[in-house]
Structures are given as structure tokens and as C-alpha cells.
Amino acid sequence: MGKLQTKSDSKLGVKLTGTFEKGQHITLNQDAALQKIFGTQHPELAEALMTHCLKVLKSSEASDEHPGNDERFFMLGAIAELKPRDVVERMLAVQMAATHVAMIRSGRWLANADTMDQVQAHYTGYTKLARTYAIQMEALRKHRNGGKQTVTVQHVNVADGGQAIVGDVSTGGRVDGEK
């Protein structure tokens, strides 16, 4: 396995330290690093979204004392990779990162379940989170594409005497004067 990125050499331009009990400390190593991550010009919004990221994590997932469970950089990295373009995408990106962390957490609980009741409960939770994540991805896609879905046909066969239409095809409309 490759070298894991540490808090001190983050490419995100942010250094995160602390615990829930002692407080979280955010140091910006680059100008407007949080604004770049969240894709906003407003530092207040970037700071609030950062706070939302921290609120959804368990104390062991946002702590220097549990580096193997630390999800703070995952949250920021995932959001940065999504490159949110507006306030809807910013909030959805935070939700998607949080849902993913919760799904992985649920998967860990499922893997460590000892009884059938535990397995069923964790399987149900995991499945609901996975469906929620898929719905969030679809919502992001629709928001970015304005609800339009594009289908590209790579290969078309037309038999002798047949016709093919290339371009947009609409159905269901009436021509003026038709009944």
C-alpha cells in the first residue's frame, strides 16, 4: 500500500487537528483554501460547510487520537473532487460525503455483527444509505444537466430500403389545425 497523506502535507491547503472534546483547529496553508474546496467566494459559507462536515462525524472520526478512523480529510477531498458550482451543489456535496462515511461506518458494523438481529439491522441501514447515495448522485447529475439526459448511439444498422433519422426526435405534439 502507498504512503498515506498526513495532516501536515495535505494538498487541500488545510491542516486539521484536534478532537471534539478539545475542539477542532483548522489552519489554512493556502489563501482561501476552504473557499476553493467548497467552490464559493464567501468565506462565511465555506466555514459553515466545514462545520457541517465535522458535525456529522463520530468523535473518533474527527480526532487526532484515532488517526485510523479520521474522516475529516476524506470529507474535504471528496467535496473538492466534486467541484461544486453553486450553493445547491455545495450542500449536496456535503450530504454525499456524509452519506458515504455513514455507509462505510454501517458496513463496518455489518462486518462485525455477531447475531442475525445485528446483521439484519446493519444490512438494512447499509442498504438505505447506499440507495440514498445513489439518489444523491442522480440529483447532482440532474441539477448539473438541467434534468436533460443525453444518450449517444455508437452504432446504427439500417437494412436495405430502411431509413434512419439523425438528430433530435420529439413525439406527442400536434401540428396546428390537427385534431
Q: Determine, yes or no, domain membership for 153.
A: no
For residue 53, the model assigns a pLDDT of: 97
Q: Determine, yes or no, domain membership for 154.
A: no
Number of helical (H) and strand (E) elements in the chain, helices listed first:
5, 2
Of the candidates 102, 141, 145, 143, the one whose C-alpha atom is nearest the C-alpha of residue 125 is 102
The 10s digit of each residue's pLDDT in 10-29 is: 789 999 999 999 999 999 99
Our measurement of the distance from residue 154's CA atom to the centroid of its chain's CA atoms, rounded to an integer in Å, reads 30
Q: Per-residue confidence at 160, pLDDT binned at 50, 70, 90?
A: confident
For residue 168, the model assigns a pLDDT of: 63
Q: Determine, yes or no, domain membership for 94.
A: yes
For residue 156, the model assigns a pLDDT of: 77
Domain that holds residue 96: 8-145
Q: How large a percentage of the chain has pLDDT more than 70?
A: 87
Q: How far apart, in whole angstroms, are the C-alpha atoms of residue 154 and residue 120?
A: 43
Number of C-beta neighbours around residue 81 at 10 A: 10
Q: Per-residue confidence at 1, pLDDT binned at 50, 70, 90?
A: very low
Question: In the chain, how many domains are there?
Answer: 1
The model carries a pTM of 0.77
Q: Determine, yes or no, domain membership for 167.
A: no
Q: Determine, yes or no, domain membership for 54.
A: yes
Taking residues 49-68, what's their average pLDDT?
Answer: 96
Cβ pair 93, 78 in contact under 8 A: yes
Q: Determine, yes or no, domain membership for 21.
A: yes
pLDDT of 104 > 60? The answer is yes
Q: Determine, yes or no, domain membership for 63.
A: yes
Taking residues 97-112, what's their average pLDDT?
Answer: 97
For residue 27, the model assigns a pLDDT of: 92
For the ranges 13-22, 142-151, 160-169, the maximum mean pLDDT occurs at 13-22
Provide the angle, in degrees to the nearest 10, between the axes of the packed helices 116-145 and 87-111. 160
Q: Determine, yes or no, domain membership for 128.
A: yes
